[in-house]
Amino acid sequence: MTGSDRAETIDAASKGLRLMAVHAHPDDESSKGAATMARYVAEGAEVMVVTCTGGEAGDVLNPAMDRPEVHEHMDEIRREEMAKAAKILGVQHRWLGFVDSGLPEGDPLPPLPEGCFARVPLEESTEALVRVMREFRPHVVITYDENGGYPHPDHIRTHEVSMAAFEAAADPERFPEAGDPWQVLKVYYVHGFSRARITAFHEALLEAGQESPWAEWLERWDPDKPDVMERVTTQVPCADYFEQRDDALRAHATQIDPNSRWFAVPLEIQRELWPTEEYELARSLVDSTVPEDDLFAGVREKVSS
């Protein structure tokens, strides 16, 4: 098979399929399911990331970027970072246009700012996402679970908006001015930070005589807390795209320290021990049997028929 023949075969693998990933902040798309998206783009699918907020309330987490001018222009910088990451992954991108709620701290917790994403009426944010869904017409949507993946108010709201939009987008009575109805066929929750995955990397590093950045994290892990792997239904092989994922993550330079534990495990170890990204099938209107290794399982047949 020649190079051009192989390219045509890959292109045909997912041609006509559309995947949407709905995230709370810029950088979430690169730390949650980025290699999966890059794989499907390479195979010919259309992929769109929808970012609900601008990430304006985010802290500068990379010491090299912790400068006064960065804090002053955080909203502009995070938009530039998102554009770079989207280009690296090859995805389309839309801002939903809401304001970062921030992560409240203190005891008692302070109220969230007026007008932030988590306080905007659900009907308003749902209509905004329905409008994008009806325009892009995704077959599959990726979002967070009911806990937001972790309890950030914007992540929890992203779950609520995504699930409400899944129902509303297909209903001609809901938001008739937001475009023609469209039925999403499958919804997945993206899962990360599996204890099993981190343990595998931790033990591999120790066996190789290297220091593991996960030792303290594993020691603090609540033994009674269930591993997210108990909820996983779908593991997508995407090891060939881990480097692309990491490049996209590094594009969010205010949020990601290139010397952090995000990049501590060599890619060859990751590819050997854990070559997948994990998802939970939350809604499906097509026949598919779990466990799966493809987000479009059951969808490919329906779209091509």
Interval 20-46: pLDDT, tens: 999 999 999 999 999 999 999 999 999
What does the pLDDT read at residue 7? Answer: 43
Interval 194-226: pLDDT, tens: 999 999 999 999 999 998 989 988 999 888 889
Q: Does 227 count as an annotated binding residue?
A: no
Interval 147-158: pLDDT, tens: 998 889 999 999
| 275-289 core/surface letters (b: 16 or more CB in 10 A; e: else) | ebbbbbbbebebebe
- State the Cα–Cα distance between residues 143 and 135, nearest whole angstrom: 18
* Average pLDDT estimate for 52-80: 92
Higher pLDDT, 216 or 132: 132
Q: Does 73 count as an annotated binding residue?
A: no
- pLDDT, mean over the chain: 93
Higher pLDDT, 73 or 119: 119
Interval 237-283: pLDDT, tens: 999 999 999 999 999 999 999 988 889 899 999 999 999 999 999 99
> Could you tell me whether strands 234-237 and 186-191 are parallel, antiparallel, or unpaired per DSSP bridges?
unpaired
Q: How confident is the model at residue 12 (pLDDT cuts 50, 70, 90)?
A: low
Q: How confident is the model at residue 286 (pLDDT cuts 50, 70, 90)?
A: very high
Q: Does 28 count as an annotated binding residue?
A: yes
Global pTM? 0.93
Q: How confident is the model at residue 304 (pLDDT cuts 50, 70, 90)?
A: confident
What does the pLDDT read at residue 207? Answer: 93
What does the pLDDT read at residue 15? Answer: 86
Provide the 10 A C-beta neighbour count for residue 13. 15
Question: Side-chain half-sphere of 57: how many Cα atoms within 13 Å?
Answer: 19
Sorted by where each starts, the structural domains of the chain and their CATH numbers stand as 3-194+228-299 (3.40.50.10320)
119-127 contact pairs (CB < 8 A, 24+): 122/160, 122/161, 122/164, 125/52, 125/96, 125/98, 125/157, 125/161, 126/161, 126/164, 126/165, 126/168, 126/175, 127/168, 127/175, 127/178
What does the pLDDT read at residue 9? Answer: 43
Task: Judge contact between 285 and 186, C-beta under 8 A.
Answer: yes
What does the pLDDT read at residue 24? Answer: 98
* Closest among 189, 131, 121 to 165, alpha carbons compared: 131
